[in-house]
Structure 1
Amino acid sequence: MISEQVLDFLNALEKNNDRVWFQDHKTEFRTVEQEMKAVFNELFTLLKTHDDVDAVKVFRIYRDVRFSKNKVPYKTHFGGTIHRVKPQLRGGYYLHVEPDNKSFIATGFWDPNKEDLLRIRKEFEVDAQEVRDIINDSRFKSTWGTVEGDELKTAPKGFDKTHPDIDLIRKNNLFLLKNIQIRKCLRQTF
């Protein structure tokens, strides 16, 4: 379960996002960071009962500001991924924990390599009916909504722009995203 302390720390960090404040609250950060790592490890263990996953990664709180106009040094959320076993499986899971109902979970293919993206597109070109049946199911839609992801404005090279599944073929990323309320959702889950 995620404690109020995690969300309180992130709220305070958003209001005091500078190195001096962060150094003064480093002990508190280490405590909430360990709590979040435990949450991700628990989630990893639960996912292993349903999918072949092999790695969990909790992202650092430090922002890379070298090439950014925004020089705020710290992220005001915790995020992490759980990867599926490669090379047999692709895709993965993402959890984003942020106060004020900005938390979400996501699953799918974010930035697949060009070989995987071509394979996905070829699968859709041959037969997308199984995927269509899933994403058009009313229960599925009520839980996940629609397939998200950046897409090309036209057909990718080598694909027919009039193909009936061009909406899926044009996607560069394919994922599902669900906004969640951390306090309610994670208490029910764990």
Structure 2
Amino acid sequence: MTFEGFPDEGLVFYEGLEADNSKTYWTRHKGDYDAYVRKPLLAMLEELEAEFGSAKVFRPYRDVRFSNDKTPYKTHQGAVVVQEGRGAGAWYVQISAEGLHVAGGAWRLESDQVDRFRRAVADDVQGSRLEQEVGRLSSAGFEIRGDRLSRVPSGYAADAPRVELLKHKALHASRSWEPTDWLHERRALDEVRTAWRELQTLNAWLADNVGATSKEPRRR
């Protein structure tokens, strides 16, 4: 498939879903979702696969079992590319009525991964590399986020180098674009590709220094 942009009808679909998040609306407009959201996203991911790897497209349905919010459908469509065999570090893309969103990094780390992350941050060489990369991404317009402690983690001094990074339990960088004309053109693919390339160094650092968890998968 060749990516030609995200049609405006896809954004209109999500505007309608935000106003009426019901099975009735979804059933009536599922053809719009398939044609104007899912199909162009799959086309984009197919063109990115050779460079970044195969993507997982998330289900459009919300898991409401443990949520007070029982609305059944997500008001965005996202996809993620995980570094095969590398553990931590992934690329993400999302389309919604708010526009286009891209991100990279680690959204959730298990306790053994958090321990390795903090040891690497405390290391003068690896910690400085991450600090420089986070600073570069921030200067380039990426927002740096991730779950973090309000206090310095146990075992580290309050005046430790890179103490703010030590507080992180996850770390990712993201960038968003509001709806604009180029979203409906091939330029959207170029913007995602360029952003994902910008995030390669962060993902490589996470893969090299954090890696995969040795813990059993969580069960609910």
Same fold flag (TM > 0.5): yes
Partners in 2 of 1:175 and 1:110 — Cα distance?
6
- Whether 1:116 aligns to 2:120 is no
For 2:96, the aligned partner's letter is E
What is the CA-CA distance between 1:60 and the residue it aligns to?
A: 0.9
2:19 paired residue number: 15
The SS at the match of 1:74 is coil
TM-score (norm 1): 0.82
How many corresponding residue pairs?
180
Q: Is contact 2:13-2:29 (8 Å) kept? A: no
Letter in 1 for 2:110: N
Paired residue for 1:100, among 89, 98, 101?
A: 98
- Give SS of 2:175's match: strand
Answering whether residue 146 of structure 2 is matched by residue 142 of structure 1, we say no
Q: Structure 1: where are the runs of 5+ without partners? A: none
- Correspondence 1:58 to 2:63: no
Deviation at 1:189, TM superposition (A): 4.4
| Distance verdict in 2 for CA 1:26–1:84, change over 3 Å | same
Using CA pairs below 8 Å that are at least 6 residues apart, which structure has the higher relative contact order? Answer: 2
CA contact (8 A) 1:40 1:58 kept: no
Q: Give me the identity figure in percent.
A: 26
Contact 1:62-1:74 within 8 A present in 2 as well: yes
- 1:92 Cα deviation (Å)? 0.3
- The equivalent residue for 1:129 is 128
Q: Which position in structure 2 is the counterpart of 1:162?
A: 159
Tell me the TM-score normalized by structure 2: 0.72
- Helix, strand or coil at the partner of 2:186: helix
Q: Which range moved further: 150-159 or 73-82?
A: 150-159
1:97-121 Cα shifts (integer Å, max 9, x gaps)? 11134x3211111102222221111
Point out the more displaced range, 120-129 or 64-73: 64-73
Partner of 1:173: 170
